[in-house]
Structure 1
Amino acid sequence: MAIASINPATGELLEEFDALTDAEVESRLATAARVAVEYRGTDVAQRAHGLRSAADILDAEVDTLAGTMTAEMGKTLSASKAEIAKCAKGLRFYADHGADFLADEAADAGAVGASRAFHRYQPLGVVLAVMPWNFPLWQVIRFAAPSLMAGNVGLLKHASNVPRTALYLEDLFTRAGLPKGAFQTLLVSSSQIEAILQDSRVAAATLTGSEGAGRAVGRTAGEALKKVVLELGGSDPFVVLPSADLEKAAQTATTARCQNNGQSCIAAKRFIVHQDVYDDFIAKFVARMGEQKVGDPTDESTAVGPLATEQGRQDVIDLVDDAVAKGAEVLLGGTVPDGPGWFYPPTVIAGITEEMDLYAEEVFGPVAAVYKAADLDEAVRLANVTRFGLGSNVWTTDPDEIERCIDDFEAGQVFVNGMTTSYPELAFGGVKDSGHGRELTRHGMHEFCNLKTVWVG
């Protein structure tokens, strides 16, 4: 895939970039290795100052940067601005809490016959991040903020369709006062990743992306005996039970399915509704989905912009068409609009069966698959039927049902009466084919630290 910025609302090519040569990659790796030795010795207060400075720059440049993000991947301007604000918050969170997260942890010295015993967190060195386009700033910051605060240095291989945002990120940390080379963007093709990860100067890697990309990076990291964190796809269940506030649930379901133009790994995608409230909920849900305005992402009244790539839209079209051909019922949408750009309307589809691709595959667009469950047991079974296990939602006021879903949902996250989202204060990650490892909180920082045991006689 060419490294190019293309406006998905118009199909217009904005700018093309040449991939780095092998010699240029070697130079970047040498710089990263050299700076890693320097940067690990910096004081945590110095690192925190750099993160706060980066947050201040984001605040000051929100309008310009939002325009870049919207032009590159089609999210609405309001969504771009919200993402930038979230990144500034994430940077400040680690600046404020990083020292505590990295503090030595005392162990029971007497139990092990020592005068002192403790655990110390130290940086691993150079960490390679392979990141996707759907949240082109936040996906990177949620890796970069804890890693840089821990004293690691970063190499970013961003998605090929968001090169302007990728280059901005390198410039951001340099202008924020971090040592030049502490965070570098590598404009490289996917075929160059394997050699970079195999390089002995790279200590670990993190990837957010497809299952295929995760398997490839995980395989290479495993062969090289390197730590890797993988956040892959999701097909999150949104379970609605009889005691739920149906109006609020329908409103939240619409936001959950249409946020970021339907392109979010933790977006609710499968709506599993108890038969006692199925008709009422679906009527409310379809009505709200139908109210979402599709159009120019720079228009403040637009709720759903274009999908980020032409192939991405085709993938959505194929999944819906396959389901319809095999007997599914389209309750709303399902038709590609005329005109330029890669738009797809909010769509609700029922009657999904196992032979349909939509039953098992993640749909990365504003398409909601709805299921009717006879009881809680069937709802839990349907929630867990996919190979994914990233996020999950349940709507109920029954304490026993809440505890049942918390225990039995096969997912890295359970949100009760609310929409799955990410916060610096909550650990983020999945199970099954949604990957392994965690981001955010102290856990995300510790993923790329050497937990060193110290025993003093």
Structure 2
Amino acid sequence: MDMQTLQHLFPEKGSIPEAYALPAPVNQTSILIGGELRPWKGPMRKVFSPVYLRHGDKLEPSEIGSFPEATVEESKAALEAAVAAYDKGRGLWPTMSVAERIACMQDFTKQMVAKRTEVVRLIMWEIGKNLADSEKEFDRTIDYIKATINAVRDLDNDNSRFLMVEGTIGQIRRTPLGVVLCMGPFNYPLNETFATLIPALIMGNTVVFKTPRWGVLLFTPLIEAFCSAFPKGVINFVYGQGHKVVPSLLNSGDVNVLTLIGSSKVADELKKQHPKVNRLRAVLGLDAKNAAIVLPDADIELAVKECLSGALSFNGQRCTALKMLIVHQSIVDEFLKKFVAALDKLGRGMPWDKGVAITPLPDVSKTRYMCDLVEDAVAKGAKVVNEGGGLACETFFNPAVVYPVTEGMKLYREEQFGPVVPVMAFDKIETALDYVISSEYGQQVSIFSSNPDLIGELVDPLVNQVCRVNINCQCQRGPDVFPFTGRKDSAEGTLSVTDALRSFSIRSMIAAKQTDESKKLLDDIILNHKSKFINTRFVF
């Protein structure tokens, strides 16, 4: 792999298959605020794809659209619309029955499915994700919405009965928290954004949605669906630079829930902006430096396969990616040899190329950072063990396997979030354990071994350091019914289909003395449908 080969991975203008080419630039010229698509006549921010176009020996960035370079004024208007729609809990949306909110969500989902081709194509062009993974992200998101609808239906049906305890009649349901500020990530801009946005909405909250840094235009085909499926002000968009427009939203004190998939440093700064931190609930998916511990008795073929996928799926740009491979000294040479051989077979190219695994990174700043990490490690004694590893051409970075990575190198602790695979060796099991224990993050870990005694010895301390221990498989988020969270600086709150519903709601109840008068009163309310909260209806 050389620089010319990397350069020729980019397509010539006019050579892109029609099925995957963008028919025209996508220009988002309005902002959804208060149920209206408000025309935007201010400055626009251009969006350039990580897919450069080749003109002879020159590469040029391809402009694929633009979106409003909005200001604090527009973000405040979005927040005001969400606050008005919630109306201190008296708004149409928070007082709707669960069945009515489900109907709105089903309407949205139906409209969303019709936009699959457009959204998938924009995921590819905006963030460089390959076609198969872009399609998978869309389809998984639809499945997530449907599972959420089923879960909220079951939750409401379970709460439709009354409890009678110690002379008190009670009914307990989950109710919304208020206004949610939702900030999604670039790597799974649709799926991970919706993993918080959808449960927040369906539980009766109103939402202010700040689009990701990369992955803005892919929401454009869905804006009409958001506008028509939900009541006015329930969902409102915020554009512009996050460090400029977001602080004012939190400073207002009107945001009740902050949900962010991003870095712990950003989360810390944002929470400090709120004037009453105790009133702010945070649902956060943050940093991770997930390790794979490969023991001497591991099935090396299996470990290589899982570690390769775990480290480099979507170029390693996943919070659940394996970001440090800790391999026993007795097998590290064999492991590296087989890992590099498997890596060499991975397809490199553009998102629509058949069988491609390694694609361009979203921005040249990402390739520069990868190069910096590799250069730092090499300067401090490590080597790039795969031929051509670490070569970069504009947004394309050829994966680098770096060994041995030791303390003091940036790669030892920093989350690379890209196609650099650091490897360290160990002799004593305590060395591997200490790495995980001393980490600032505690999301997941993978163990590779066929020895039940060793696995048991490792699992017991590790479950007190991370929230998921994967045995002979890579770290991952799914299935979505499993809890997804982390310890230390990796997360706050828990996300899964059911856990997310709890994260964006609170238990509320009505109570009355167990007397004939109370029973008669409650019967009247229920039989004559005088309350959305006090009811025994079954949602089908």
From 35, 49, 55, the counterpart of 1:7: 49
The TM-score, its normalising length taken from structure 1, stands at 0.92
Partner of 2:505: 449
Partner of 2:377: 323
Mean Cα deviation higher: 114-123 or 417-426: 114-123
Letter in 2 for 1:182: V
Partner of 1:304: 358
Change (3 A) 1:64 1:18: closer
**Gaps in structure 2 of 5+ consecutive residues:** 1-43, 53-60, 514-540
Partner of 1:43: 97
CA offset digits 1:235-292 (Å, max 9, x no partner) = 1001122343321221121111111122111100101112343233222211111211
Root-mean-square deviation (CA), in Å?
2.3
**What is the Cα deviation at residue 381 of structure 1?**
1.8
From 57, 67, 76, the counterpart of 1:26: 76
Partner of 1:149: 202
From 197, 215, 219, the counterpart of 2:268: 215
Conserved? CA contact 1:211–1:433, under 8 Å: yes
CA offset digits 1:291-329 (Å, max 9, x no partner) = 112221121232111111111221111111100011101
For 1:166 and 1:351, locate their aligned partners in 2 and report how far apart those are by CA, in whole Å.
42
Change (3 A) 1:304 1:53: farther
From 221, 235, 244, the counterpart of 1:183: 235
Q: Secondary structure at the match of 1:233?
A: coil
For 1:420 and 1:168, locate their aligned partners in 2 and report how far apart those are by CA, in whole Å.
32
1:432 matched to 2:485? The reply is no
From 369, 389, 400, the counterpart of 2:422: 369
Mean Cα deviation higher: 413-422 or 114-123: 114-123
Partner of 1:104: 159
Partner of 1:295: 349
**What is the Cα deviation at residue 27 of structure 1?**
2.8
**What is the Cα deviation at residue 116 of structure 1?**
2.8
1:357 matched to 2:410? The reply is yes
Conserved? CA contact 1:261–1:366, under 8 Å: yes
Mean Cα deviation higher: 31-40 or 263-272: 31-40
For 1:29 and 1:381, locate their aligned partners in 2 and report how far apart those are by CA, in whole Å.
45
For 2:432 and 2:317, locate their aligned partners in 1 and report how far apart those are by CA, in whole Å.
24
For 1:147 and 1:281, locate their aligned partners in 2 and report how far apart those are by CA, in whole Å.
44
Letter in 1 for 2:134: S
Partner of 1:269: 323
Partner of 2:145: 91
Change (3 A) 1:17 1:62: closer
For 1:222 and 1:210, locate their aligned partners in 2 and report how far apart those are by CA, in whole Å.
21
For 1:54 and 1:395, locate their aligned partners in 2 and report how far apart those are by CA, in whole Å.
43
**What is the Cα deviation at residue 89 of structure 1?**
0.8
1:71 matched to 2:125? The reply is yes
Letter in 1 for 2:512: V
CA offset digits 1:30-89 (Å, max 9, x no partner) = 321233321112222232233334444444332221111111111111111110011011
The structure number with the bigger radius of gyration is: 2
Change (3 A) 1:335 1:347: closer
For 2:303 and 2:109, locate their aligned partners in 1 and report how far apart those are by CA, in whole Å.
34
For 1:233 and 1:3, locate their aligned partners in 2 and report how far apart those are by CA, in whole Å.
28
Letter in 1 for 2:357: A
**What is the Cα deviation at residue 94 of structure 1?**
0.4
Q: Secondary structure at the match of 2:119?
A: helix
**What is the Cα deviation at residue 105 of structure 1?**
9.3
Change (3 A) 1:206 1:256: same
Letter in 2 for 1:71: W
Change (3 A) 1:314 1:35: same
From 390, 396, 413, the counterpart of 2:468: 413
**Gaps in structure 1 of 5+ consecutive residues:** none
For 2:114 and 2:447, locate their aligned partners in 1 and report how far apart those are by CA, in whole Å.
38
Partner of 2:5: none
Conserved? CA contact 2:131–2:351, under 8 Å: yes
For 1:82 and 1:237, locate their aligned partners in 2 and report how far apart those are by CA, in whole Å.
25
Q: Secondary structure at the match of 1:371?
A: strand
The TM-score, its normalising length taken from structure 2, stands at 0.78
For 1:429 and 1:260, locate their aligned partners in 2 and report how far apart those are by CA, in whole Å.
21
Q: Secondary structure at the match of 1:202?
A: coil
Conserved? CA contact 1:58–1:84, under 8 Å: no
User: Residues 394-409 of structure 1 correspond to what in structure 2 (within 5 A)?
Assistant: 394-409=447-462
Q: Secondary structure at the match of 2:348?
A: coil
CA offset digits 1:124-172 (Å, max 9, x no partner) = 1210012221111011110012112211122111223322124445444
1:254 matched to 2:308? The reply is yes
For 1:115 and 1:275, locate their aligned partners in 2 and report how far apart those are by CA, in whole Å.
65
For 1:165 and 1:183, locate their aligned partners in 2 and report how far apart those are by CA, in whole Å.
17
For 1:119 and 1:404, locate their aligned partners in 2 and report how far apart those are by CA, in whole Å.
42
